[in-house]
Structure 1
Amino acid sequence: MKLDVKYLNPFRRFMQKNPAFMRKFLIILVLVCSITESNAQIGNDKWNITGELALPMGMGNKMFRNYLNGIVTAHPKIQYKPFKHWYVAFGPRYMYYKVNEYRIPFEPGVSDDSIADHKKVQSIYGGMHVLGGDIELGWTSWVGPRLGLELGVKTGIAQHWFNTSGTKKYGKQDVLAMYVEPTLSIVLASDEAVAYRWIIGYNFTGYHFDGYRVGSTTSGGYTAKDLRAPTQSLIVGFAISYYFKNQRSDVFLDEP
Protein backbone atom coordinates (compact mmCIF):
# COMPACT_ATOMS: atom_id res chain seq x y z
CA MET A 1 0.00 0.00 0.00
CA LYS A 2 1.44 3.36 -1.08
CA LEU A 3 1.14 6.28 1.31
CA ASP A 4 0.02 9.49 -0.35
CA VAL A 5 2.55 12.22 0.46
CA LYS A 6 -0.14 14.88 0.59
CA TYR A 7 -1.36 13.47 3.91
CA LEU A 8 2.07 14.16 5.43
CA ASN A 9 2.19 17.80 4.36
CA PRO A 10 0.13 19.22 7.28
CA PHE A 11 2.29 17.33 9.78
CA ARG A 12 5.46 18.50 8.04
CA ARG A 13 4.32 22.11 8.03
CA PHE A 14 3.40 21.88 11.73
CA MET A 15 6.89 20.62 12.62
CA GLN A 16 8.56 23.31 10.52
CA LYS A 17 6.55 26.06 12.21
CA ASN A 18 6.96 24.59 15.72
CA PRO A 19 10.61 23.55 16.17
CA ALA A 20 10.38 24.11 19.93
CA PHE A 21 7.57 21.54 20.19
CA MET A 22 9.71 19.01 18.30
CA ARG A 23 12.64 19.54 20.66
CA LYS A 24 10.41 19.07 23.73
CA PHE A 25 8.93 15.91 22.20
CA LEU A 26 12.40 14.44 21.62
CA ILE A 27 13.47 15.27 25.20
CA ILE A 28 10.38 13.54 26.58
CA LEU A 29 11.05 10.53 24.35
CA VAL A 30 14.63 10.27 25.63
CA LEU A 31 13.44 10.51 29.26
CA VAL A 32 10.83 7.81 28.75
CA CYS A 33 13.32 5.48 27.05
CA SER A 34 15.98 5.99 29.72
CA ILE A 35 13.55 5.44 32.59
CA THR A 36 12.09 2.26 31.13
CA GLU A 37 15.57 0.72 31.37
CA SER A 38 15.44 1.08 35.17
CA ASN A 39 13.73 -1.26 37.61
CA ALA A 40 13.24 1.48 40.19
CA GLN A 41 9.93 1.88 41.90
CA ILE A 42 8.94 4.56 44.42
CA GLY A 43 7.50 2.86 47.48
CA ASN A 44 6.55 5.61 49.92
CA ASP A 45 4.96 8.50 48.02
CA LYS A 46 3.26 10.30 50.91
CA TRP A 47 5.58 13.33 50.89
CA ASN A 48 7.58 14.90 48.11
CA ILE A 49 9.15 18.21 47.22
CA THR A 50 8.87 19.26 43.59
CA GLY A 51 10.52 21.98 41.56
CA GLU A 52 8.70 23.04 38.39
CA LEU A 53 10.29 25.01 35.58
CA ALA A 54 8.00 25.90 32.70
CA LEU A 55 7.38 28.19 29.76
CA PRO A 56 4.23 30.36 29.90
CA MET A 57 2.53 31.29 26.63
CA GLY A 58 -0.07 34.08 26.58
CA MET A 59 -3.53 33.05 25.43
CA GLY A 60 -7.07 34.45 25.48
CA ASN A 61 -6.76 38.22 25.26
CA LYS A 62 -5.28 39.02 21.84
CA MET A 63 -3.30 42.04 23.03
CA PHE A 64 -1.82 40.08 25.95
CA ARG A 65 -0.88 37.27 23.58
CA ASN A 66 0.91 39.64 21.19
CA TYR A 67 2.37 42.25 23.54
CA LEU A 68 3.99 39.90 26.08
CA ASN A 69 6.22 36.85 25.54
CA GLY A 70 6.35 34.34 28.39
CA ILE A 71 9.93 33.64 29.51
CA VAL A 72 9.81 31.48 32.64
CA THR A 73 7.64 30.03 35.39
CA ALA A 74 9.37 28.76 38.54
CA HIS A 75 7.25 26.95 41.12
CA PRO A 76 8.69 24.93 44.04
CA LYS A 77 6.08 23.10 46.09
CA ILE A 78 5.63 20.59 48.91
CA GLN A 79 3.14 17.82 48.20
CA TYR A 80 1.37 15.50 50.65
CA LYS A 81 -0.90 12.55 49.87
CA PRO A 82 -3.35 11.98 52.78
CA PHE A 83 -5.34 9.35 50.87
CA LYS A 84 -4.45 6.69 48.33
CA HIS A 85 -5.28 8.74 45.23
CA TRP A 86 -5.61 12.31 46.51
CA TYR A 87 -2.98 14.93 47.25
CA VAL A 88 -2.60 18.53 48.40
CA ALA A 89 0.35 20.81 47.57
CA PHE A 90 1.38 24.39 48.23
CA GLY A 91 4.25 26.69 47.36
CA PRO A 92 5.38 30.05 45.98
CA ARG A 93 5.45 30.96 42.28
CA TYR A 94 7.36 33.39 40.07
CA MET A 95 6.65 34.22 36.42
CA TYR A 96 8.20 36.64 33.97
CA TYR A 97 6.84 37.93 30.67
CA LYS A 98 8.96 40.10 28.38
CA VAL A 99 7.43 42.90 26.32
CA ASN A 100 7.49 42.16 22.60
CA GLU A 101 8.74 45.57 21.53
CA TYR A 102 8.21 44.77 17.85
CA ARG A 103 4.45 44.28 18.34
CA ILE A 104 3.73 47.51 20.26
CA PRO A 105 3.25 50.68 18.19
CA PHE A 106 5.84 53.41 18.74
CA GLU A 107 4.78 56.24 21.00
CA PRO A 108 6.57 59.63 21.02
CA GLY A 109 8.23 60.50 24.29
CA VAL A 110 8.64 56.95 25.58
CA SER A 111 12.14 56.44 24.19
CA ASP A 112 15.20 58.15 25.63
CA ASP A 113 16.52 58.65 22.09
CA SER A 114 15.84 61.63 19.90
CA ILE A 115 12.34 61.51 18.40
CA ALA A 116 13.58 63.55 15.45
CA ASP A 117 15.88 60.70 14.45
CA HIS A 118 13.41 57.87 13.87
CA LYS A 119 16.18 55.37 13.24
CA LYS A 120 17.18 55.60 16.91
CA VAL A 121 13.69 55.55 18.37
CA GLN A 122 12.72 52.35 20.20
CA SER A 123 9.35 50.93 21.07
CA ILE A 124 8.26 50.13 24.62
CA TYR A 125 10.53 47.61 26.32
CA GLY A 126 10.60 45.89 29.70
CA GLY A 127 8.44 43.17 31.19
CA MET A 128 5.95 41.91 33.75
CA HIS A 129 7.00 40.21 37.00
CA VAL A 130 4.51 37.94 38.77
CA LEU A 131 5.05 36.76 42.36
CA GLY A 132 2.54 34.81 44.39
CA GLY A 133 1.60 31.42 45.79
CA ASP A 134 -1.07 28.76 45.54
CA ILE A 135 -2.66 25.64 46.97
CA GLU A 136 -3.16 22.63 44.70
CA LEU A 137 -5.69 19.84 45.14
CA GLY A 138 -5.64 16.82 42.88
CA TRP A 139 -5.85 13.15 42.04
CA THR A 140 -2.82 10.90 41.57
CA SER A 141 -2.23 7.29 40.56
CA TRP A 142 0.62 5.01 39.54
CA VAL A 143 -0.42 3.25 36.35
CA GLY A 144 2.73 1.16 36.31
CA PRO A 145 5.91 0.53 38.35
CA ARG A 146 7.51 3.75 37.07
CA LEU A 147 4.71 5.70 35.36
CA GLY A 148 2.19 7.90 37.17
CA LEU A 149 -0.47 10.48 36.35
CA GLU A 150 -1.63 13.51 38.29
CA LEU A 151 -4.60 15.80 37.70
CA GLY A 152 -4.73 18.90 39.86
CA VAL A 153 -6.14 22.40 40.17
CA LYS A 154 -4.03 25.24 41.55
CA THR A 155 -5.74 28.21 43.18
CA GLY A 156 -3.76 31.20 44.33
CA ILE A 157 -3.12 34.92 44.34
CA ALA A 158 -0.26 36.87 42.78
CA GLN A 159 1.05 40.40 42.50
CA HIS A 160 1.80 41.58 38.94
CA TRP A 161 4.40 44.32 38.45
CA PHE A 162 4.55 45.94 35.01
CA ASN A 163 8.01 47.48 34.70
CA THR A 164 8.51 48.98 31.23
CA SER A 165 9.83 52.14 29.63
CA GLY A 166 6.19 53.18 29.24
CA THR A 167 5.27 52.77 32.91
CA LYS A 168 8.34 54.76 33.94
CA LYS A 169 6.91 57.71 32.03
CA TYR A 170 3.15 57.33 32.62
CA GLY A 171 3.14 55.65 36.03
CA LYS A 172 3.20 52.14 37.48
CA GLN A 173 0.42 49.67 36.73
CA ASP A 174 0.47 46.97 39.43
CA VAL A 175 -2.28 44.38 39.74
CA LEU A 176 -3.14 41.94 42.54
CA ALA A 177 -5.26 39.12 41.13
CA MET A 178 -6.36 35.57 41.86
CA TYR A 179 -5.73 32.71 39.45
CA VAL A 180 -6.94 29.17 38.80
CA GLU A 181 -4.84 26.65 36.91
CA PRO A 182 -5.86 23.09 35.97
CA THR A 183 -2.73 20.95 35.53
CA LEU A 184 -1.82 17.54 34.11
CA SER A 185 1.45 15.87 35.10
CA ILE A 186 3.04 12.72 33.70
CA VAL A 187 5.35 11.28 36.38
CA LEU A 188 8.32 9.10 35.41
CA ALA A 189 10.27 7.45 38.25
CA SER A 190 14.04 7.58 37.87
CA ASP A 191 14.94 5.59 40.99
CA GLU A 192 13.45 4.75 44.40
CA ALA A 193 13.18 8.40 45.47
CA VAL A 194 13.40 10.66 42.40
CA ALA A 195 10.92 11.21 39.59
CA TYR A 196 10.77 13.47 36.57
CA ARG A 197 7.58 15.12 35.36
CA TRP A 198 6.22 16.58 32.16
CA ILE A 199 3.60 19.17 33.08
CA ILE A 200 0.99 21.08 31.14
CA GLY A 201 -1.47 23.58 32.62
CA TYR A 202 -3.81 26.37 31.67
CA ASN A 203 -3.82 29.50 33.79
CA PHE A 204 -6.87 31.77 34.19
CA THR A 205 -6.00 35.07 35.93
CA GLY A 206 -8.67 37.43 37.20
CA TYR A 207 -7.79 40.69 35.47
CA HIS A 208 -8.16 42.11 31.96
CA PHE A 209 -5.06 43.11 30.06
CA ASP A 210 -4.95 46.41 28.15
CA GLY A 211 -2.18 48.46 26.58
CA TYR A 212 -2.02 50.89 29.49
CA ARG A 213 -0.71 48.05 31.69
CA VAL A 214 2.64 48.32 29.86
CA GLY A 215 2.44 52.09 29.41
CA SER A 216 0.94 52.24 25.92
CA THR A 217 -1.57 55.01 25.23
CA THR A 218 -2.84 53.67 21.91
CA SER A 219 -5.36 50.92 21.13
CA GLY A 220 -2.91 49.24 18.77
CA GLY A 221 -5.75 48.47 16.36
CA TYR A 222 -7.45 46.09 18.80
CA THR A 223 -11.19 46.23 19.35
CA ALA A 224 -13.18 45.82 22.56
CA LYS A 225 -14.00 42.27 21.44
CA ASP A 226 -10.27 41.46 21.19
CA LEU A 227 -9.76 42.59 24.79
CA ARG A 228 -12.86 40.97 26.25
CA ALA A 229 -11.22 37.66 27.20
CA PRO A 230 -9.51 37.53 30.62
CA THR A 231 -5.78 37.02 30.90
CA GLN A 232 -4.85 33.38 30.22
CA SER A 233 -1.64 31.40 29.74
CA LEU A 234 -0.70 27.93 28.55
CA ILE A 235 1.98 26.46 30.85
CA VAL A 236 4.29 23.75 29.47
CA GLY A 237 7.42 22.48 31.19
CA PHE A 238 9.26 19.95 33.32
CA ALA A 239 9.74 19.20 37.00
CA ILE A 240 11.76 16.99 39.32
CA SER A 241 10.42 15.45 42.53
CA TYR A 242 12.15 13.99 45.55
CA TYR A 243 10.06 11.54 47.62
CA PHE A 244 10.96 11.40 51.31
CA LYS A 245 11.53 8.19 53.34
CA ASN A 246 12.71 6.20 50.33
CA GLN A 247 16.16 4.60 50.42
CA ARG A 248 17.97 5.11 47.12
CA SER A 249 20.08 2.37 45.59
CA ASP A 250 23.54 3.32 44.33
CA VAL A 251 24.27 1.35 41.17
CA PHE A 252 27.77 2.81 40.92
CA LEU A 253 29.09 1.12 44.08
CA ASP A 254 29.78 -2.61 44.31
CA GLU A 255 28.33 -4.50 47.21
CA PRO A 256 31.01 -5.86 49.62
Structure 2
Amino acid sequence: MAIEYQSFVVAQAPVVPVRAKEREQAEMVSQLLWGEVAGVISETARWFEIVSADGYRGWIDRKMVCPSRVSFMDAVYIECPVVKTAFAAFVSTGTDSGLLYLPMGSRIVGFQKENNRFDVGKIQYQLIQGDVDVPGWSSVDQCLCTARQLLHAPYLWGGRNFMGIDCSGFVQLVYGVNGVSLPRDAWQQACCGKEVASLSEVLPGDLAFFSRPEGRISHVGFLLSPRQIIHASGCVRIDG
Protein backbone atom coordinates (compact mmCIF):
# COMPACT_ATOMS: atom_id res chain seq x y z
CA MET A 1 0.00 0.00 0.00
CA ALA A 2 1.44 3.36 -1.05
CA ILE A 3 2.15 5.88 1.68
CA GLU A 4 0.21 9.14 1.43
CA TYR A 5 2.24 12.17 2.46
CA GLN A 6 0.56 15.21 3.98
CA SER A 7 3.53 17.44 3.16
CA PHE A 8 7.31 17.45 2.91
CA VAL A 9 9.85 19.03 5.25
CA VAL A 10 13.56 19.76 5.07
CA ALA A 11 16.04 19.54 7.95
CA GLN A 12 17.20 22.96 9.14
CA ALA A 13 19.41 21.77 11.98
CA PRO A 14 22.82 20.15 11.46
CA VAL A 15 21.44 16.85 12.80
CA VAL A 16 17.78 15.97 13.41
CA PRO A 17 17.16 12.85 15.55
CA VAL A 18 14.56 10.45 14.15
CA ARG A 19 12.92 8.70 17.10
CA ALA A 20 10.85 5.54 17.42
CA LYS A 21 8.12 7.40 19.33
CA GLU A 22 7.04 11.02 19.75
CA ARG A 23 9.07 11.82 22.84
CA GLU A 24 12.64 12.94 23.50
CA GLN A 25 13.42 9.88 25.63
CA ALA A 26 12.50 7.46 22.83
CA GLU A 27 15.09 5.41 20.96
CA MET A 28 16.85 7.25 18.14
CA VAL A 29 16.54 5.02 15.08
CA SER A 30 18.23 7.32 12.55
CA GLN A 31 19.00 10.95 11.77
CA LEU A 32 18.26 13.54 9.12
CA LEU A 33 21.16 15.76 8.13
CA TRP A 34 20.91 19.43 7.18
CA GLY A 35 19.06 19.83 3.87
CA GLU A 36 17.64 16.30 3.72
CA VAL A 37 13.95 16.07 2.81
CA ALA A 38 11.37 13.82 4.48
CA GLY A 39 7.68 13.11 3.91
CA VAL A 40 5.18 13.83 6.69
CA ILE A 41 2.53 11.16 7.30
CA SER A 42 1.04 12.43 10.58
CA GLU A 43 1.66 15.13 13.15
CA THR A 44 1.01 16.33 16.68
CA ALA A 45 1.45 19.77 18.20
CA ARG A 46 5.18 19.14 18.63
CA TRP A 47 6.12 16.20 16.41
CA PHE A 48 6.04 15.10 12.78
CA GLU A 49 5.84 11.42 11.91
CA ILE A 50 8.03 11.14 8.82
CA VAL A 51 9.47 8.80 6.26
CA SER A 52 13.01 9.70 5.20
CA ALA A 53 14.34 9.43 1.66
CA ASP A 54 16.00 6.11 2.58
CA GLY A 55 12.70 4.72 3.87
CA TYR A 56 13.16 5.13 7.61
CA ARG A 57 10.01 5.92 9.55
CA GLY A 58 9.98 7.78 12.84
CA TRP A 59 9.24 10.99 14.70
CA ILE A 60 11.09 14.31 14.54
CA ASP A 61 10.76 17.55 16.49
CA ARG A 62 8.94 19.92 14.15
CA LYS A 63 11.03 22.89 15.34
CA MET A 64 14.07 21.35 13.61
CA VAL A 65 12.59 21.37 10.09
CA CYS A 66 10.82 23.76 7.76
CA PRO A 67 8.46 23.21 4.81
CA SER A 68 10.08 21.84 1.66
CA ARG A 69 9.15 23.01 -1.82
CA VAL A 70 10.05 19.61 -3.25
CA SER A 71 9.36 16.00 -2.27
CA PHE A 72 12.25 13.73 -1.38
CA MET A 73 11.49 11.81 -4.59
CA ASP A 74 12.19 14.99 -6.57
CA ALA A 75 15.11 16.02 -4.34
CA VAL A 76 16.99 12.86 -5.34
CA TYR A 77 17.19 14.16 -8.91
CA ILE A 78 18.34 17.66 -8.00
CA GLU A 79 22.10 18.05 -8.31
CA CYS A 80 22.79 19.46 -4.88
CA PRO A 81 26.22 20.12 -3.34
CA VAL A 82 26.96 18.24 -0.12
CA VAL A 83 29.56 18.50 2.62
CA LYS A 84 32.33 16.07 1.59
CA THR A 85 34.62 16.42 4.60
CA ALA A 86 33.90 15.20 8.15
CA PHE A 87 32.33 18.60 8.74
CA ALA A 88 32.25 22.05 7.18
CA ALA A 89 32.35 25.31 9.13
CA PHE A 90 30.53 28.44 8.00
CA VAL A 91 30.51 31.94 9.43
CA SER A 92 27.20 33.77 9.17
CA THR A 93 26.41 37.43 8.71
CA GLY A 94 23.58 39.59 9.99
CA THR A 95 21.97 39.80 13.40
CA ASP A 96 22.44 36.06 14.01
CA SER A 97 26.14 36.10 13.18
CA GLY A 98 28.12 33.13 14.41
CA LEU A 99 29.47 29.76 13.33
CA LEU A 100 27.50 26.95 11.74
CA TYR A 101 29.00 23.45 11.67
CA LEU A 102 27.45 21.00 9.22
CA PRO A 103 28.36 17.31 9.11
CA MET A 104 29.43 15.26 6.10
CA GLY A 105 26.47 14.52 3.83
CA SER A 106 24.58 17.74 4.58
CA ARG A 107 22.80 19.03 1.46
CA ILE A 108 23.58 22.71 0.81
CA VAL A 109 20.84 23.97 -1.51
CA GLY A 110 21.91 27.14 -3.31
CA PHE A 111 25.60 26.77 -2.47
CA GLN A 112 27.68 29.00 -4.75
CA LYS A 113 30.92 27.19 -5.49
CA GLU A 114 32.55 30.25 -7.04
CA ASN A 115 32.47 32.17 -3.75
CA ASN A 116 31.84 29.33 -1.26
CA ARG A 117 28.66 30.65 0.28
CA PHE A 118 24.91 30.11 0.54
CA ASP A 119 21.93 32.01 1.90
CA VAL A 120 19.12 31.05 4.26
CA GLY A 121 16.58 33.85 4.16
CA LYS A 122 18.49 37.05 4.88
CA ILE A 123 21.43 35.27 6.49
CA GLN A 124 24.51 34.54 4.39
CA TYR A 125 26.86 31.70 5.29
CA GLN A 126 30.49 31.77 4.16
CA LEU A 127 32.51 28.53 4.07
CA ILE A 128 35.69 28.86 6.14
CA GLN A 129 36.67 25.20 6.62
CA GLY A 130 35.90 21.96 4.83
CA ASP A 131 34.79 21.04 1.32
CA VAL A 132 31.38 21.31 -0.34
CA ASP A 133 30.78 19.89 -3.81
CA VAL A 134 28.34 17.88 -5.89
CA PRO A 135 28.57 14.17 -4.99
CA GLY A 136 30.10 11.97 -7.66
CA TRP A 137 32.22 8.89 -8.10
CA SER A 138 35.94 9.50 -8.54
CA SER A 139 37.72 6.32 -7.46
CA VAL A 140 37.82 3.64 -4.79
CA ASP A 141 40.84 5.40 -3.29
CA GLN A 142 38.82 8.60 -2.91
CA CYS A 143 35.95 6.66 -1.33
CA LEU A 144 38.29 5.10 1.24
CA CYS A 145 39.89 8.50 1.84
CA THR A 146 36.40 9.74 2.72
CA ALA A 147 36.00 6.82 5.12
CA ARG A 148 39.29 7.61 6.85
CA GLN A 149 38.13 11.17 7.53
CA LEU A 150 35.68 9.65 10.01
CA LEU A 151 38.29 7.64 11.94
CA HIS A 152 37.67 7.77 15.71
CA ALA A 153 34.09 9.00 15.31
CA PRO A 154 32.24 7.39 18.25
CA TYR A 155 29.72 4.64 17.65
CA LEU A 156 26.12 5.73 18.15
CA TRP A 157 23.09 3.61 17.37
CA GLY A 158 21.09 5.45 14.71
CA GLY A 159 23.89 7.97 14.10
CA ARG A 160 24.88 9.28 10.68
CA ASN A 161 27.54 11.92 11.42
CA PHE A 162 31.08 12.36 12.75
CA MET A 163 29.87 13.04 16.31
CA GLY A 164 28.20 9.61 16.44
CA ILE A 165 27.63 7.00 13.76
CA ASP A 166 26.56 3.37 13.43
CA CYS A 167 28.04 0.78 11.07
CA SER A 168 25.48 1.00 8.27
CA GLY A 169 25.20 4.77 8.62
CA PHE A 170 28.97 4.97 8.12
CA VAL A 171 28.83 2.92 4.91
CA GLN A 172 25.76 4.76 3.60
CA LEU A 173 27.28 8.17 4.31
CA VAL A 174 30.70 7.47 2.77
CA TYR A 175 29.27 5.99 -0.41
CA GLY A 176 26.59 8.69 -0.57
CA VAL A 177 28.99 11.64 -0.72
CA ASN A 178 30.85 9.73 -3.43
CA GLY A 179 27.73 9.49 -5.57
CA VAL A 180 26.53 5.97 -4.70
CA SER A 181 23.15 5.66 -2.96
CA LEU A 182 22.74 2.75 -0.55
CA PRO A 183 19.89 1.77 1.80
CA ARG A 184 20.10 2.58 5.50
CA ASP A 185 20.45 -0.84 7.17
CA ALA A 186 23.23 -3.42 6.81
CA TRP A 187 20.83 -6.21 5.79
CA GLN A 188 19.46 -3.98 3.03
CA GLN A 189 22.95 -3.04 1.86
CA ALA A 190 23.80 -6.74 1.61
CA CYS A 191 21.14 -7.03 -1.10
CA CYS A 192 23.04 -4.53 -3.29
CA GLY A 193 25.99 -5.36 -5.50
CA LYS A 194 27.47 -8.77 -6.19
CA GLU A 195 28.50 -11.43 -3.70
CA VAL A 196 32.19 -12.38 -3.72
CA ALA A 197 32.97 -16.08 -3.33
CA SER A 198 36.03 -15.79 -1.08
CA LEU A 199 38.28 -13.28 0.66
CA SER A 200 40.99 -13.95 -1.91
CA GLU A 201 38.80 -12.24 -4.52
CA VAL A 202 37.93 -9.06 -2.62
CA LEU A 203 39.06 -5.61 -3.69
CA PRO A 204 39.59 -2.47 -1.59
CA GLY A 205 36.25 -0.76 -1.04
CA ASP A 206 34.21 -3.97 -1.07
CA LEU A 207 31.79 -4.36 1.81
CA ALA A 208 32.09 -7.11 4.40
CA PHE A 209 28.94 -8.22 6.22
CA PHE A 210 28.69 -10.04 9.52
CA SER A 211 25.74 -12.08 10.75
CA ARG A 212 24.44 -13.39 14.05
CA PRO A 213 24.22 -17.16 14.70
CA GLU A 214 20.64 -17.21 13.42
CA GLY A 215 21.82 -15.71 10.12
CA ARG A 216 20.58 -12.13 10.47
CA ILE A 217 23.07 -9.58 9.14
CA SER A 218 24.01 -7.19 11.92
CA HIS A 219 27.24 -5.43 10.91
CA VAL A 220 29.04 -4.02 7.86
CA GLY A 221 32.34 -2.33 7.04
CA PHE A 222 34.69 -1.44 4.18
CA LEU A 223 37.46 -3.88 3.34
CA LEU A 224 40.84 -2.22 2.85
CA SER A 225 42.42 -5.59 2.03
CA PRO A 226 41.45 -9.26 2.53
CA ARG A 227 42.55 -8.95 6.18
CA GLN A 228 41.86 -5.33 7.06
CA ILE A 229 38.57 -3.50 7.59
CA ILE A 230 37.47 0.03 8.46
CA HIS A 231 34.15 0.02 10.30
CA ALA A 232 32.15 1.59 13.11
CA SER A 233 32.60 -0.68 16.12
CA GLY A 234 32.96 1.24 19.37
CA CYS A 235 34.26 3.98 17.10
CA VAL A 236 35.25 4.19 13.45
CA ARG A 237 38.46 2.18 13.42
CA ILE A 238 40.70 -0.03 11.32
CA ASP A 239 40.99 -3.66 12.40
CA GLY A 240 43.00 -6.46 10.89
Indicate the structure (1 or 2) with the bigger Cα radius of gyration. Answer: 1
TM-score normalized by structure 1? 0.19
Identify the structure with bigger relative contact order (alpha carbons < 8 Å, sequence gap 6+). Answer: 1
TM-score normalized by structure 2? 0.20
Which one has the bigger strand percentage?
Answer: 1
